[in-house]
Structure 1
Amino acid sequence: MDCCNISHQIDIPEGARKVVLAGNPNVGKSIFFNSFTGVYVDVSNFPGTTLDISSGKFRDYVIIDTPGVYGVSSFNDEEIVARDAIASADLVVNVIDAVHLERDLFLTQQIIDMGIPTIVAINMMDEAKKNGLQINIDRLSEELGVPVIPTIAPKGEGLDKVKNSLHLAEIGNSSIKLTKELEEITKKSTNKAEAVLIMEGDPHVIAKNNVEVIDYREQVYLDRRERVNNIIDRVVTETTDSTSFSTKLGRLMLKPLTGIPMLLGALYLLYEFVGVFIAQTVVGITEETIFIETYEPFIRGIVENFIPESSFIGQILIGEFGILTMSVTYTLGLLLPLVVGFYLFLSVLEDSGYLPRIAALVDRLLTSIGLNGRAVIPMILGFGCVTMATITTRMLGSKRERIIAVFLLGLAIPCSAQIGVIVGLIAPLGVKYLIIYAITIFIVYVLSGTILNKILPGESTDLLIDLPPLRIPRIGNVLRKTYMKSISFIKEAGPIFIIGAIAITLLQYSGILVAIQNAVEPITVGWLGLPKETATAFIMGIVRRDFGAAGLSSLTMTADQTIVSLVTITLFVPCIAAMIIMLKERSKTEAVTIWISSWVIAFITGGILYRVLSLFA
């Protein structure tokens, strides 16, 4: 493998020096890169979006940006890209987070150990002050042996000083104690940087230099961690008196005694905002007044001038399940307001820094079902879109965790559009039925995860996650995220709703729909205690789960029947889009097993719930 070389990817002018920007994820490197080069780089936290190396010119330097990593190695694609860029650098500008020095300085010390001239830009100094942290910059520079420049990148403070100090880069103080071993390896390798990587057991660098496998990684890492801990003790002072309210609040969010009530409070606010205000007030206007009372008569009047509604084409266009009537009303009048409301709330949680704290809070609970706290991120994303959440299960540390997460996402996590309809149907019934619904889904979720945790080999990986400072959400960010995700929903849901409407109309027009309803009547009526017309909603749910849930809103049912139908359709099969992603992310066998299992679990659970409710009727 041609590692530790980026010359084939970037055109380096003769005589130009390569300056590599390196740092952990989310430390603000993109701001530094933009300041150096004037080139805008779109950086996202989603895996894969920063894998390409971006470069630009600054004076006589070529500035090279790298993915955010926690170390220089070959554990994943991001680290391989960063390793090759750093190892071939003439100097490194290492951007670190002042709030997370204990974490970030490990990479700093590794770069210094590799013998590469380095400048450290210690960013987010304002956040450190808010968190009650005092950092002795001069002492830190002395300990590392390299220049350290304090910055507040979003405000532009310190950026010019970093740009004007490139010529001051130094080779710092190494933490490696195995000096004789390193000298021997250096004689057999291209340079000291590669010698250190060989010492740490990097298989690619070992293969490139054609040396025997040497692995001192554990000892080197222990010495490096000890050195970083000693530096932290000498340069960082925590003044609890000046600790900001946000820092204290963030700590309370991590403690079960205070964090769980806060989480329940957040979920209650979500229910009040989406379930009560959006689902009842806003949807009452958009669905009933705007679309059913105004739009549908208007569009029927136009179409009937050319095509009778009773005809086949008329049924497809403006019939009960017409693509110009039901599809438009469901998509824009019913689902879109609910989706916008949910994404607006989720964006507030995300931009405030609360989501990672939820992950840390629920880590112990998720460990009991074979996952760790990081899995709460795809789970919460699943409440937005199960399809996207399934893709993000790549962030989980093992195959068994990914299998468990994908199964639970497809089974027990309703997407934003579906949960909006569900909450909208439950809200008029009262809090009692909301509790019944939530407890039932939670029990199925825990039992399914526990069983999978028992039968799948292996163990859960440990939770490693950043806890960014709590901050007031930026209105612009929140609105931008909400807008982009809502537009994405329309683009994804619109065509599928049209396909579903045509399919249901064809089944109805041909009489097959009634035949299916009669065929599954022993299940829908006999086992679940529901009207036989709910079979139509289940068929619609195969196309999209929210499509099926919305189909229940047109049926007349008792409160008990409503809860049984909602629990069943929540646990019912993942929609077509989610299934396609499952087939891509997992094997065909696993995807089909998940699909069939969802059918079985949904109907078994619905039937049991119907009988339990009948006992108390």
Structure 2
Amino acid sequence: MNSHNPAAIMNVPKNSKKIALAGNPNVGKSVFFNYLTGLYVDVSNFPGTTIDISTGKLGEDIVMDTPGVYGVSSFNDEEKVARDIILYADVVLNVVDAVHLDRDLFLTQQIIDMGKPVVVALNMMDDVKRNGIKIDIDLLSKELGVEVIPTTAIKGEGLDKVKDALKRAKVGNRIKEVKDIIDKVIDKVDTESEALLLAEEDENIISRHNIKEYENYREYIYKLRRNRVDEIVEKVISETNENASFRIKLGRLMLRPITGIPILLLTLYLMYQAIGVFIAQTVVGVTEEIIMGGYYYNFIMNSIGKFINSSTLIGQLLIGDFGLITMVPIYILGLLLPLVVGFYFFLSLMEDSGYLPRIAALVDRLLTSLGLNGRAIIPMILGFGCVTMATITTRLLGSKREKFIATMLLGLAIPCSAQLGIIMGLIAPLGIKAFLIYSLTIFTVFVLTGTLLNKFMPGESTDLLIDLPPLRLPKLSNVLKKTYTKSVMFLKEATPLFALGGVIVTLMQFTGILNGIANALAPFTEGFLKLPPMVAQAFIMGIVRRDFGAAGLNALASQGLLNSGQIIVSLVAITLFVPCIAAIMVVFKERSPLESALIWFGSFIISFLTAGILAQFIV
């Protein structure tokens, strides 16, 4: 085996016992490593990768840390490194998160099936008590066939017992059917551990041994292992709800639809009041209208404006309606920055409290029908603050298919907070009937579009794989640090795009292209949508900034040029209309040119088609 395994060329004394630490991400392995090795630590680059590996001495033995992984495999560099070190090890110390046994024991059983002597450190036992969980440790040890030591590593509890148990490490209870498969393929490789990985179709093992013919048992073995782990967890875990803390009970309520949905609606309402009302209206009213739109704009016009003729192309590019030193900084710093900071602050609060993963789990089944999974709720929530920012966060979704669907739905049916404020101001005086017509129309378009994309787009969406951490009070310093880091990152990415958008719109305005488009749309607006021709100007301004378009409609309504039916139709059209220029620039950056064009033209067509059909009934 040594000739095939890169770990074999690591600097390890010949007669030393090699102890590997293995576990899922964030289970506390580093605490065990530091305790076992003390100050005698060496960090080196693992051969053939960019992964750094820590090694240290425990007496005459060598302790090797491994990257956190969910299984021994070859799907990424971390798994490859962990695999090679575990294959090379004489003893494996498997650190397990006691709260998530159903997840972590999958790796434990795989290592046991490899035939490696194992000791299990059952870590985070303090969280077990807080979660109202009881674990029968003796029964767990009997089921696994290895010693299981309860620990709370950050408090130093149980670490000495783990150290002593390493001397008694033994091979555990392997799944009989898996052992039979290993016996079938053992002649093709050097060890039982490699035989298991060969049966699981590990590409590196196949390549190392130049194996031409083999039978793939991966899905069969995975199913056996999953069933075995579920069986063990069912036997050893019991819940004691009466001992569970309020936070644990609240966390469970958040996951049940009958209680979780009202909690989510209340959370979204509070977020809207804080961000959509207080920040978008009160704070932005000061930062955009007074500070940037007043003091800053007057300073620019009274200094630079004296030396530049605003009627020229250069003047328009610099200090015009969409100028690089007027509109761009006013928009970025006056409007977007407060909204971005507010949203990232609340997002960080939900993330650090442990609520955000619960929202994702709660809405996962609903979003699956739209070709998404629960993670997509994050950009959807962000979209009500700023679609531009939300489009960037679609990166966290698992596939190109999901990213396209989410970006399409964001650009189509999610109004940003600035636009939403004006829309609510326009529709509120019309009564509850008008609000329901508007809301149901937008919601129907959202669901139908997602459902159709899910049905006709090739491929399948990814499953939701997400940990549910314990609910906790967020640490303010961490929340502020995250908010600052993400806000700065957003400004760095978005500012050049806004500047480019300002240049494009200025050129279109200066050359008369904007007016030409508005005039071309006017007959369609007046005929199919049954709206006054000047509404076309508002639609075009909506491309520049969504709230510009809504504000244009507000001006027409205040002049009495729109009746109630026309207001609803125009608001539906402006909501579903193409994203603003800043969002468009981000879409073209995040998606391919073809996908971006489909999103843009799709929004354009769906907007006018929906509004036109609605107009036939209510205008």
Instruction: Please tell me whether the aligned partners of residues 119 and 166 of structure 1 are also in contact (alpha carbons under 8 angstroms).
Output: yes
Distance 1:548 1:392 in 2: 25
Matches within 5 A, 1:216-365: 216-217=217-218, 220-365=221-366
Distance 1:150 1:338 in 2: 46
Specify the SS of the correspondent of 1:118.
strand
Where do 5+ consecutive residues of structure 2 fail to align? 44-48, 559-566
Alpha-carbon shift at residue 434 of structure 1 (Å): 6.4
Distance 2:253 2:364 in 1: 16
Specify the SS of the correspondent of 1:168.
helix
Cα distance change, pair 267–501 in 1 and its aligned pair in 2 (3 A): same
Instruction: Please tell me whether the aligned partners of residues 363 and 373 of structure 1 are also in contact (alpha carbons under 8 angstroms).
Output: yes
Distance 1:124 1:460 in 2: 33
Q: Which residue in the other structure is 2:46 paired with?
A: none
Distance 1:336 1:434 in 2: 30
Q: Which residue in the other structure is 2:129 paired with?
A: 129
Alpha-carbon shift at residue 333 of structure 1 (Å): 1.0
Indicate whether 1:569 and 2:577 are aligned: yes
Cα distance change, pair 386–292 in 1 and its aligned pair in 2 (3 A): closer
Indicate whether 1:425 and 2:430 are aligned: no
Distance 2:578 2:348 in 1: 24
Specify the SS of the correspondent of 2:370.
coil
Question: Which one-letter code corresponds to 1:439 in the other structure?
Answer: L
- Which range is displaced more, 109-118 or 53-62? 53-62
Distance 2:479 2:597 in 1: 37
Matches within 5 A, 1:172-211: 172-178=171-177, 179-209=179-209, 210=211
Indicate whether 1:53 and 2:54 are aligned: no
Distance 2:12 2:336 in 1: 55
Matches within 5 A, 1:132-151: 132-151=132-151
Specify the SS of the correspondent of 2:171.
coil
Distance 2:525 2:328 in 1: 25
Alpha-carbon shift at residue 430 of structure 1 (Å): 6.0
Distance 1:388 1:26 in 2: 26
Alpha-carbon shift at residue 454 of structure 1 (Å): 3.2
* Structural RMSD (CA): 3.7
Question: Which one-letter code corresponds to 1:532 in the other structure?
Answer: A
Alpha-carbon shift at residue 287 of structure 1 (Å): 1.5
Distance 1:66 1:491 in 2: 32
Distance 1:162 1:566 in 2: 66
Cα distance change, pair 477–92 in 1 and its aligned pair in 2 (3 A): farther
Instruction: Please tell me whether the aligned partners of residues 87 and 193 of structure 1 are also in contact (alpha carbons under 8 angstroms).
Output: yes
User: Cα deviations across residues 427-468 of structure 1 (Å, max 9, x unaligned)?
Assistant: 434655766554333211210122233334666665443322
Indicate whether 1:392 and 2:389 are aligned: no
Alpha-carbon shift at residue 590 of structure 1 (Å): 4.5
User: Cα deviations across residues 268-298 of structure 1 (Å, max 9, x unaligned)?
Assistant: 1121111111112111111122122222112
Instruction: Please tell me whether the aligned partners of residues 567 and 606 of structure 1 are also in contact (alpha carbons under 8 angstroms).
Output: no
Distance 2:375 2:312 in 1: 53
Specify the SS of the correspondent of 2:69.
coil
Distance 2:405 2:355 in 1: 24
Q: In the alignment, which of 576, 590, 603 is matched to residue 598 of structure 1?
A: 603
Distance 2:4 2:151 in 1: 30
Q: Which residue in the other structure is 1:46 paired with?
A: none
User: Cα deviations across residues 466-494 of structure 1 (Å, max 9, x unaligned)?
Assistant: 32222222222322222122112211222
Instruction: Please tell me whether the aligned partners of residues 549 and 566 of structure 1 are also in contact (alpha carbons under 8 angstroms).
Output: no
Q: In the alignment, which of 524, 529, 533 is matched to residue 537 of structure 2?
A: 533
Alpha-carbon shift at residue 390 of structure 1 (Å): 3.4
Instruction: Please tell me whether the aligned partners of residues 421 and 550 of structure 1 are also in contact (alpha carbons under 8 angstroms).
Output: no
Bigger Rg, structure 1 or 2: 2
Q: Which residue in the other structure is 1:86 paired with?
A: 86
Specify the SS of the correspondent of 1:558.
helix
Sequence identity (%):
49
Instruction: Please tell me whether the aligned partners of residues 310 and 320 of structure 2 are also in contact (alpha carbons under 8 angstroms).
Output: yes
Q: Which residue in the other structure is 2:562 paired with?
A: none
Where do 5+ consecutive residues of structure 1 fail to align? 42-50, 541-546
Distance 2:219 2:496 in 1: 54
User: Cα deviations across residues 180-235 of structure 1 (Å, max 9, x unaligned)?
Assistant: 54345334312221111123343442343326313444554454345434543454
Distance 2:182 2:521 in 1: 73
Specify the SS of the correspondent of 2:610.
helix
Instruction: Please tell me whether the aligned partners of residues 386 and 410 of structure 1 are also in contact (alpha carbons under 8 angstroms).
Output: no
Question: Which one-letter code corresponds to 2:344 in the other structure?
Answer: Y
Q: Which residue in the other structure is 1:500 paired with?
A: 501
Specify the SS of the correspondent of 2:169.
coil
Question: Which one-letter code corresponds to 1:581 in the other structure?
Answer: E
Alpha-carbon shift at residue 410 of structure 1 (Å): 4.6
Matches within 5 A, 1:66-81: 66-69=67-70, 71-74=71-74, 79-81=79-81
Alpha-carbon shift at residue 165 of structure 1 (Å): 5.2
Distance 1:436 1:31 in 2: 58
Instruction: Please tell me whether the aligned partners of residues 360 and 376 of structure 2 are also in contact (alpha carbons under 8 angstroms).
Output: yes
Instruction: Please tell me whether the aligned partners of residues 539 and 574 of structure 2 are also in contact (alpha carbons under 8 angstroms).
Output: no
Aligned residues: 584
User: Cα deviations across residues 158-189 of structure 1 (Å, max 9, x unaligned)?
Assistant: 48548855853723313221445434533431
What's the TM-score, normalizing by structure 1? 0.82
Alpha-carbon shift at residue 265 of structure 1 (Å): 1.1
User: Cα deviations across residues 69-127 of structure 1 (Å, max 9, x unaligned)?
Assistant: 2x223456654454334323344332221111122112111112212333333232222
Question: Which one-letter code corresponds to 1:58 in the other structure?
Answer: G
Instruction: Please tell me whether the aligned partners of residues 335 and 421 of structure 1 are also in contact (alpha carbons under 8 angstroms).
Output: no
Specify the SS of the correspondent of 2:109.
helix
Q: Which residue in the other structure is 1:44 paired with?
A: none
Distance 2:316 2:481 in 1: 38
Matches within 5 A, 1:514-529: 514-524=515-525, 526-528=527-529, 529=531
Q: Which residue in the other structure is 2:588 paired with?
A: 579
Question: Which one-letter code corresponds to 2:86 in the other structure?
Answer: I
User: Cα deviations across residues 565-611 of structure 1 (Å, max 9, x unaligned)?
Assistant: 5413366796122223211xxxx655543343222112323434555
